[in-house]
Amino acid sequence: MKRETVIVLDFGGQYNQLIARRVRECNVYCEIYSYKTDLEKIKSLNPKGIIFTGGPNSVYLEDAPTYDEKIYELGVPILGICYGSQLMMHQLGGKVSKAPVREYGKIEVTVNTQSKLFENVSEKTICWMSHNDYIEKIAPGFEIIGHTPDCPVAAVENTEKRLYATQFHPEVLHTQEGKKMLSNFVFNVCGCAGDWKMDSFVEESIQAIRNKVGNGKVLCALSGGVDSSVAAVLLSKAVGNQLTCVFVDHGLLRKNEGDEVEAVFGPEGNYDLNFIRVNAQERFYEKLKGVEEPERKRKIIGEEFIRVFEEEAKKIGKVDFLVQGTIYPDVVESGVGGESTVIKSHHNVGGLPEYVDFKEIIEPLRDLFKDEVRKAGLELGIPEYLVFRQPFPGPGLGVRIIGEVTPEKVRIVQDADAIYREEIEKAGIAKDLGQYFAAITNMRSVGCMGDERTYDYAIALRAVLTSDFMTAESANLPWEVLGIVTSRIVNEVKGVNRVLYDCTGKPPATIEFE
Ligand code: XMP
């Protein structure tokens, strides 16, 4: 696909993905490459602009990450951020040394609004700083276009060579006008048109898939999650019923989820695809009988999933292509930025069988971030409730049932969770929460209902605020909503006489219970 591209050259900064996202928010395609990628490769990508990221090193130390200096001669605009700015100055004849005053946090920067980088930015603007080193002397040909009381060189430019650098991080939201600065770089400096849009992505992908697949057979493991659903629909639009989707109902899905997935993708659904639903509930329950240890449970569910999928694949016969819903963060995390391409086999469904007989893997979403996958999903006409659904772990309710999994506990947690979700939505607070669900503890305790003594399970409710699922805070849910949920669960779900709320963050807890 020919499209204008901005390259992020990664020097080990924490925010490399954020930079790429911000550029893409300008409708300009952006990819991240490691600083170890050689110049010829970068040249071959024909970038409209290059951004050097931050990084934890000091440029003046031996072994600090560096780059081929010929990059400055390509005539391609470059923006250096933090470490990237220091590297640019260091390589082009300036001086970087340990800062007399370290800056960390939100700092007011005075910028030269005549610069293309700061067009329509306020003269005094709050930026995110995090540096121990500073630019003591700028490189010849550059001019200072930003400073703070403690940082004489917060931004520089060489307009002739179209080289720009900022000591602060425009990509993080704490930099109040950071988006504008990056958009200025992309449009004013690089001259991008901003024509990378979801409809063109969908159209181009469909064409590319058709060319690749020809009249071959394609197999997709569909979990009903966002990524695999979008991948399946894209493939279905491209190759129609050359595609077969296998959906394994392992009996650990949320209430009615199996039927919901079937309603969308099955014969009565919105798409013309071969859909196979495998009702393997009993098989999974049988395997899980008597097993309490969380890791063991996860392993059993993952392995059994593969067995079922493999059996179905064998029935279909030789397939040419296997579809995976790998998305860009998976690609970046598995180190594709470097020289070699690692295909991450782990996915929502808990890994795919290596021994399914197929020729090639198709990963139609490997260039997209999660929010872009969602946009593509909407573009493809997938219902909103599927596109915006919360993450759901591959092992499903298996990790929300503490201790042994039994059909009774599955029923209890499904019913309690459905009530909880319904009330959260009714209260209009769903969009504020990162993830929320009910789990069934392995604890039974004494209660009284009517005049009867009960000895029943306790349900634990969880709701977290998180942006990346790596860390999370317990959400401060309105007491009133918790009250309604509690009352409904104990009244409507047989086998429950107590409801608890999990106030723990991650760390020290995890989001899921097992
Ligand atoms: P934890 O429990 O590790 O969860 O804090 C972080 C996020 O990952 C999801 N999760 C999984 N997703 N397969 C998945 O596809 C899994 O085995 C799995 N385990 C946890 C969890 O729902 C949360 O969003």
473 pocket-lining for ligand 1 (C-beta < 6 Å): no
Nearest CA to ligand 1 atom 14: 393
Choose, from 26, 30, 82, 151, the residue flagged as catalytic: 82
Cα Rg of the chain (Å, integer) = 26
* CA 305 distance to own-chain centroid: 24
Ligand 1: centre distance to CA 227 (Å): 15
- Written as one string, the DSSP assignment of 218-247 is EEEE--SSHHHHHHHHHHHHHHGGGEEEEE
Q: Would you call 171 a catalytic residue per the annotation?
A: yes
Spell 292-324 as b/e; 16+ CB within 10 A means b. eebeebbebbbebbbebbbebbeeeeebbbbbb
User: Ligand 1 test: best mutation among 349, 402, 469, 502, most atoms within 8 Å of CB?
Assistant: 469
The residue among 350 and 4 whose pLDDT is bigger is 4
Choose, from 90, 131, 169, 250, the residue flagged as catalytic: 169
CA-394 nearest atom, ligand 1 = 13
CA-510 nearest atom, ligand 1 = 5
Spell 120-140 as b/e; 16+ CB within 10 A means b. ebeeebbbbbbbebbbeebbe
How high is the mean pLDDT of the chain? 91
CA-392 nearest atom, ligand 1 = 22
Ligand 1: centre distance to CA 25 (Å): 27
506 pocket-lining for ligand 1 (C-beta < 6 Å): yes
The whole-number pLDDT of residue 342 equals 32
The residue among 150 and 341 whose pLDDT is bigger is 150
Instruction: Locate 485 and state its tokens.
Output: 């949920």
**Cα–Cα dist 32/492, whole Å:** 51
Averaged pLDDT for residues 225-254: 95
The answer to whether residue 232 scores a pLDDT higher than 50 is yes
Averaged pLDDT for residues 71-84: 98
The whole-number pLDDT of residue 345 equals 34
pTM of the full structure: 0.76
Q: Would you call 82 a catalytic residue per the annotation?
A: yes
The answer to whether residue 194 scores a pLDDT higher than 90 is yes
147 pocket-lining for ligand 1 (C-beta < 6 Å): no
Averaged pLDDT for residues 3-24: 90
Averaged pLDDT for residues 231-241: 95
> Would you place residue 336 in the very low, low, confident or very high pLDDT band (cuts 50, 70, 90)?
very low
377 pocket-lining for ligand 1 (C-beta < 6 Å): no
**Cα–Cα dist 422/473, whole Å:** 22
For 15-44, the pLDDT digits (tens) are: 888 899 899 999 999 999 999 999 999 999
The answer to whether residue 108 scores a pLDDT higher than 60 is yes
Ligand 1: centre distance to CA 469 (Å): 8
> Would you place residue 352 in the very low, low, confident or very high pLDDT band (cuts 50, 70, 90)?
low
The whole-number pLDDT of residue 335 equals 55
Q: Spell out the domains of the chain, with CATH numbers in brackets.
A: 5-189 (3.40.50.880), 198-387 (3.40.50.620), 400-501 (3.30.300.10)
Q: For the chain, give the percent of residues with pLDDT over 70.
A: 95
The answer to whether residue 132 scores a pLDDT higher than 90 is yes
Ligand 1: centre distance to CA 439 (Å): 14
510 pocket-lining for ligand 1 (C-beta < 6 Å): yes
471 pocket-lining for ligand 1 (C-beta < 6 Å): no
Ligand 1: centre distance to CA 433 (Å): 16
For 216-231, the pLDDT digits (tens) are: 999 999 988 899 999 9
391 pocket-lining for ligand 1 (C-beta < 6 Å): yes
Q: Would you call 372 a catalytic residue per the annotation?
A: no
Q: Are 417 and 409 within 8 A, CB to CB?
A: no
